[in-house]
Structure 1
Amino acid sequence: MPQEPKPFELHESGAYLHGTKADLDVGDRLVPGYASNFEDGRISNHIYMTKTLDAATWGAELALGEGNGRIYMVEPTGEIEDDPNVTDKRFPGNPTLSFRTKEPVRVIGELVDWMGHTPEQVKAMKDALAALRTRGEAVIYD
């Protein structure tokens, strides 16, 4: 049975999760310095991950590119820190359990049994992000 994303709920695996549209294999390494998943023309200085299925699902659904979203379990190889894009801008503390690192992360598995947000939720999120960009408020601290 597919797992429904629930905000602020630790994924049952306890693993770090990374949502994307990239087709990856176990053992692949994600490294900073490549095109951002979320902003055309931006080079990302960090790899982002979360411990909630909800945040990983948003990552998979909002990532640029063609194809279906994918959610991978990843293992950081170095130090991680709270993601200030979420913790400072939207939620005090880190209830989304969102993190980032300048070090590579290794793919250790893929979640295949997950449920996306409704089309209405995805559209509302994309519209809200577009409005932020229009107002010049879509700042990513990278």
Structure 2
Amino acid sequence: MPDVPVPFEAHPSGAYLHGTRADLRVGDLLAPGRRSNYGAGREAAFVYVTRTLDAATWGAELAVGDGPGRIYVVEPTGDLEDDPNVTDQRFPGNPTLSYRTREPLRVVGEIEDWAGHPPEQVATMRAHLAELAHDGVEAIED
């Protein structure tokens, strides 16, 4: 049975997770300096990671690209800091367990059996992000 995302609940493994559409392999590095999956698609100064399946699922579902959403288990190679895009703006105290780093993340595995959010919830989130973009608000603040 697939893992269902539950907001604010740490993944039972305690691992760091990264949701994307990129097709990666164990040992690959996710590093800043590539085009962002969000906002205007500018070069990303950070790589983002979470300990919740819910946040990783959103990353996989909302990332740009044509491939399937993927959730990777990753290992930071440097220091992490709270993700101010989430913790300062929406969820003080970081209950989403969301972080960012300027150092690469090493892919150490993949969660293949996960359930996405309901289609209507994804559509609502996409509409909200489109509205923000129309208003000139960047989804990611570096």
Q: TM-score range by the shorter chain?
A: over 0.9
* Corresponding position of 1:4: 4
* Corresponding position of 2:94: 94
TM-score by length of 2: 0.97
Q: RMSD across aligned C-alpha pairs, in angstroms?
A: 0.9
Q: SS at the partner of 1:107? A: strand
Letter in 2 for 1:20: T
Deviations 1:81-122 (A, max 9, x none): 000000011111100000000001100000001000011010
* Corresponding position of 1:58: 58
Matches within 5 A, 1:18-37: 18-37=18-37
CA distance in 1 between partners of 2:23 and 2:77 (Å) = 21
**TM-superposed deviation, 1:136:** 2.1
Q: Is the 8 A contact 1:39 1:64 kept in 2?
A: no
Letter in 1 for 2:5: P
* Corresponding position of 1:107: 107
CA distance in 1 between partners of 2:43 and 2:136 (Å) = 19
Q: Is the 8 A contact 2:50 2:96 kept in 1?
A: yes
TM-score by length of 1: 0.97
Q: SS at the partner of 2:43? A: coil
Matches within 5 A, 1:67-86: 67-86=67-86
Letter in 1 for 2:51: K
Which of structure 1's runs of 4+ aligned residues deviate more than 3 A? none
Q: Does 1:13 align with 2:25?
A: no
Gaps of 5+ in 1: none
Letter in 1 for 2:25: D
CA distance in 2 between partners of 1:112 and 1:140 (Å) = 26
